[in-house]
Amino acid sequence: MDTKIGKDILPKPTWIKVRLPAGNDWKEVEETIERHSLHTVCDSAHCPNKGECWGCGTATFMVLGDICTRGCRFCAVSTALQGIPPAPDEPEELAAAIAELKLSYAVITSVDRDDLPDRGAGHFASCIAAVRQWNPGTKVEVLIPDYFDSELETVVAARPDVLAHNVETVRRLQNIRDQRASFDKSLRTLRQAAAFGKGSLITKSSIMLGLGETRDELKMAYDELVAAGVSILVMGQYLQPTQHEIPVVEYIHPDTFAIYAEEARKAGFATVISAPFARTSYHALSAWQARKNAGTSASPDGCAQ
């Protein structure tokens, strides 16, 4: 099924309800991010989990600026041919913010920076290294662009605990991504990450549902991801961020998410998170803990630090 932008918008079902911030933790997160001049994917990508995650005192930090050099049709992050120069003090500011928030698990992602010689891999690695230095007890997960070869070696050498890269959707629907991305390029990134990690690096990927994919296409994607060494899979409902992105084709019922989760586990993933609001970094600590206790399920509900 094609996924062209159109005017037909499906009404949201009863199980799609965005949670509002609770308590005072979300305010502390907001103030800390602003004080250190940082960006989050929570804001830039209009993530529906912002209220819950910030209310739990967590956030997914976005480095290398907030302007992406790619233009995926599902994403609300601002795009341009060139981004802003990477802030030299960003690694230290990021590490300081994580220390202030007392995070035991930090998730770092970035925009795509095809305008930089190494596509930002060196700066990404510097951010990981700074977090390691300032917060030796904090687990670090990175959600990276489609780095490979020397770019990827640079990031892996900084020793993240988990490396995530998203295929986003099944093979047939890859046209929702920027034309410079592809299912095969993403598999190359994931395969190389597993190899460079030499068994100590956990790799992870994510698939958005509700774009017109079929059950058989998902099963084929599971097999290819497992063959690439991916051990954690996240599946969540695609939600149109604004009227400018592609519309939702179908809202997947929570019961169907549960069926898909079971099929994915049978395909060979150690950990599967599958729920309407699941996102790559959503309850990342729970996914990591479940992976360390391979064969268990990660809960997509409640606060986790």
Contacting residues for 130 by C-beta, under 8 A, at least 6 apart: 91, 92, 94, 95
Domains detected in the chain: 25-292 (3.20.20.70)
Nearest-angstrom CA–CA distance, 286 and 102 = 17
Q: Can you give the pLDDT at residue 34? A: 83
Give 10-residue mean pLDDT values along the chain (305 residues): 52 76 61 78 49 52 94 92 95 93 88 97 97 93 97 97 97 98 98 96 96 98 98 94 92 97 97 87 65 58 41
pTM of the model: 0.86
Q: What are phi and psi of 6, to 5 degrees?
A: -145, 180
